[in-house]
Chains A and B, each alone.
Chain A
Amino acid sequence: MALSKIWVLAEATDGKVTTSTLELLTKARSLADTVEAIYSGGDADAIAGQLGEYGASKVYTTGDLAGALPGVPVSGAIAALVDGGNAPDAIIAATSYYGRDIAGRLSVKLDRTVITNNTDIEVDGSSLVTTEPVFGGTTDVKTTFTAAGPHLVLVRPKSFVAESAGGSAAAVETIAVPDGGKSAGAKVITRHVEEREGPSLDEAAVVVSGGRGLGEQEKYALIEELAKLLNAAPGASRAIVDAGWVPYSYQVGQTGKVVKPTVYIAAGISGATQHMVGMKGSKNIIAINKDAEAPIFAVSDLGIVGDVHKVLPQLIEALKAR
């Protein structure tokens, strides 16, 4: 039995719908008869084709937010739609900055709980059952909603595989943003983009990540050099991001990017649960760490108990020689 309607919070960058949004649309199609998207950019017409292709029949757009952070205006617009008698059974978003801010505000406006960090959603009668991995992914907790909908669900990126439904462009409908009053006071003044080299963590077939075991910031150059030779994306553990060695956009883990490449190479990373959650889904894992007891070896396909300062230069030389 399927639900009647699901809304998906859509995100897009430079006129391209994010992969995590396409994953959510794909999943929503299998759960509900009607899937619609909610969007808050000025280019809804430009992305309506992609949203429709993946199953959204309609996209409600607030239009450009003019620098306002999304939580207050987008949750206000959605709550107004729900109050107008247009309520869906569920509203699904990615566990992203955007999704979390809006879901938090919306849960207050609708007085509904929000279940976060999920990797699966199933329909159970008129409710949903969600799956959330805890304790670093060693335990799966399934949760159901006990109150009436709309049910609010946040899903981790890469939980589903995006598949086109071959649908035609979604109809675009502009929705009003209610005046948020003083709560809408936060405004973006300037945006700063930190340039990254090479393929993105999201899409690379190979990811090479470094951690505290590198010893010092300068040694991260080994990770970058290896990544370049493998046409891989360089990544990092939270420890070295917090230490300021590399920007946050490099972080793999629960609070960073979730990656599922063909090969993941973890160098000098012990495998804190925070990190494992973000890379355990990789098809093949190679770990290099000097501590034989490091948890990372429990999930690696090839484990090297050794010094990254010796192994990485040798590996770089061997690849250059080919």
Chain B
Amino acid sequence: MNVVVCVKQIPDPADPGALDPTTKTLKRDGKLILDESDSYGVEMALQLVTTAGGGEVTLVSMAPNGEVSGLRTALAMGAAKAILVSDDALAGSDALATAKVLAKAIQRVEGADLVLTATESSDGYTGTVPEQIAGLLDLPSVTFAKSISVEGSTIKIQRQTEAGYDDVECPLPAVVSVTAGVVEPRYPSFKGIMAAKSKPVDTLTVADLGLDASQVGWAGAGQQIVSIAEAPAREAGEVFEDDGTAAEKIVAFLDDLKVL
């Protein structure tokens, strides 16, 4: 079974940086890491390939400056190879343009049975890219998968819902977005880290994909940021060190609000 996993390389969420006041995009000049949300898809893909007894995991990513550090992490976990699309023309791409690029890159992977994504990235979190990729590839899709099992040419999925979960069946090939926390992403072993250094990363430009630069980046974005402003801040109230009277203080506070 061959699985493609879309992975995003993002600024470390512990230090998310800021929006560039001129370009109004997220500053991405620092080191990028593998989005933790994507590590679940990588792990699930590796498990599916192992269960199937053959095949491989291919990563697909789009990032500025030929950035590969996040890809190396996923390769070290066990993915076989990666396609990276990196091109100055991609700066400013909206979710739809991103999906167009990823879909074109996915089409270059021969014999892909399944495409996995996170439900949303940790930095942009539009949450629409998985369905957009599926729409562009004209494939069936299931979002918010908690678990996936393969039976022949069909996948069975537990799909998270507002009220619980649904058992869903879907023919392959398909696009599936997976939720965090359903599998425990493995830590790359030393051997894996060493092996990852020589695994193939195919770096492509927009033109290589057969896309016109006018369809992506600032040129192709159907939206434009008009302003960035600090949101009205909430005033912090009183903070007490608990000296044994915390419960009393909370009860008094609730009493004042007449919610008791």
Contacts and interface: CB of A to CB of B under 8 A. Distances in A.
Nearest to B173: A182
B181 A104 contact: no
B162 A249 contact: yes
Contact of A186 (B16, B174, B231): B174
A100 B130 CA distance: 10
Contact of B127 (A100, A112, A241, A306): A100
B108 interface: no
B180 A242 contact: yes
Contact of A182 (B140, B165, B236): B140
Contacts of B111: none
Interface stretch (B44-52, B204-212, B239-247): B239-247
Interface stretch (A36-44, A52-60, A140-148, A169-177): A140-148
A311 B96 contact: no
Q: Which secondary structure dominates where chain B touches chain A?
A: mixed
Nearest to B130: A104
Interface residues of A, number: 94
Interface in A130-182: 133-135, 137-147, 154, 181-182
B228 A107 contact: no
A113 B223 contact: yes
A230 B259 contact: yes
A103 B131 CA distance: 8
A105 interface: yes
Contacts of B222: 112-113, 145-147
Contact of B167 (A137, A190, A306, A317): A190
Interface in B157-180: 159-171, 174, 179-180
Given A101-B143, A143-B225, A186-B170, 15 more contacts: A69-B143, A104-B128, A116-B127, A138-B230, A146-B222, A188-B168, A190-B167, A242-B181, A263-B259, A280-B234, A284-B253, A300-B236, A302-B240, A314-B246, A314-B247
9 contacts: A100-B128, A104-B132, A108-B136, A139-B230, A191-B164, A255-B125, A286-B253, A305-B242, A318-B248
Give me the 8 closest cross-chain CB pairs, A-B, nearest first: A306-B242, A104-B131, A242-B181, A108-B135, A113-B222, A303-B239, A301-B237, A314-B247
